[in-house]
Structure 1
Amino acid sequence: MTSALAFAPPPTLGLLSSTAVATHLNRGIQAGDEAPPQAALRKTTVALPESARWRTEPLRELFDEAMRRFVNRRTAADGWLAPRLHATLRLSRAEAAQDELWNFIALLIAPDYVVWRHRGKKVAPASRFSGLHYTQAFARLWWAAELFRDGEDYRTVETACRVQEIFNSTMRLDVIDHRPTALTIVRIVQAMLDAKTPRPGDHVHALSSAINLAGSTLVFEALAPDPGPDPEGIEAWIAGAEIAPQVPWDRLPDGPDDGAVAESGIRTLLPLFEQLGKDANVRERKKPEDDESP
């Protein structure tokens, strides 16, 4: 079931230090039995400027809708929420790299979502409230959308989020910043899902390890050159946040119009990655407690 938030979130986003989170986060909060101490946390918060871009209400509505829609399918919420979070919270990569922003969202906007999505048998891990970009509850979704989108097209993000090992393994790779590499991996994931490959996460973990060993970003860039996203497209998308309507819930939103990845690059990398996947040592791995997907 969805949980009712026990306090009114602040109207505007801010920055909350990881030290403050470590000071106040306890097992009661991680279990959802008590609310974070709002007054104490707000005293340590650095407020962001008044702007439509930093409003918290659209985020809170997204989290509530995700919990309503996926009440019995928590991991399935990732693929729905990731593109919509990304399209709602329009950030540069430098802004998204700030742990303090995600800490604020987790403790002062949606601690109930963190518990709902990531609680295992007892509590949600502390790293889901404040952690690395591939573990923190909201940073992992925003970065999945950023890394696996194809320009303004989020369909590839939905595919990536269907396999939890994308978060647990693939997003840790340095080479995932290379857009053709990211989308080639998504292409292989889609093929696994279409073929109903048993335990696709084990295959994704093995493939990610093999790709990491096979080369660096420079190697894959030489095979599949990519100019990267268009900075002007990103800037226009961020500026548009001031007048953008709420993202749609029943169809995918549009992402930044910053250029799609060349199909030729994906076609070049695909046979290499398929062979790496065939040669990889696929082992059955234990799922994290907060992943109830098959």
Structure 2
Amino acid sequence: MDARSEVLAAYRTGGAFLGTALLRRPWGIGVEPQRNSALHVVLAGGCWLKLTGRDEPIRLSPGDVVLVASGVGHALSDPPDAEIIPIRDALSAASAPEAASASDATRLLCAKYQLDEAGPHPMVSLMPPLVHLTAKQVEANEPLRLALQLLRVEAQGRRSEAEIIASRLLDSALVLLLRAWMDNQPAGSGNWFGALSDPAIARALRLIHEQPQDDWTVAALADHALLSRATFARRFTQLVGEPPLAYVTRWRMSLAAKALRETGRSIDEIARAVGYESAPSFSKAFSRVFGRSPGRYRNGSS
């Protein structure tokens, strides 16, 4: 699995919420900053999106889809200066179908991704605050378009199995959305995607992901990247957002946390698998990242 696939696979959910809203102008709904990512699809009509801390709202048209990163407060409204109410007061399982054709109405599909509390893939935290694909971009990507259509059908149907199905569909839609967004990024764009499109840094990331147990040093990674030590360290930090060895540690801890949650392997075995010669040194590093020992983490203790 290459570095890009690792990022997509790691952006998983621990649960999901899915709903639709039919809103008549003027209207405004707000989402507080929280440990969830929010997906919004404009099914009909249009609206304005404003991220907390940004001055200018973004116009969303029918068919547009946006993913707002966890921890980013935002509001959707029409007109852009409309009064804002909490989103939970606006969402419903379904709305009267005859109202959907009203000229002043906007229909939204809204989803909330409850991210895994265990600490996701280290590069997930470097996702931009907003991913926005236009209706034209969605239409050109058949897998994404079909996934969003299935989400709409499921959100409006509300069958007894809706929660289980919605979670699976949302996982797929999120990966497809991120993949489509990555494919639309220009070469050399000044964001974290540059780390995956830079051949030298991508080579280093792949090695870290595939061989976390190796005794990585900046010099060793630079050799594999075919760069000088100083150039590699500078470019890696600039594109990934943290120094190479800090990234190595976070990746190891992500793997260790997953093994603690999902397997019965001993702490000694997990420590060796992620590059630590002794359980005490592993436990110290793990506690520094997660704020509790591996044993307490596995038992769910705080």
Q: Shorter-chain TM-score category?
A: under 0.3
Higher Rg: 2
Q: Which protein is richer in helix relative to its size?
A: 1
TM-score, normalised by the number of residues in structure 1: 0.23
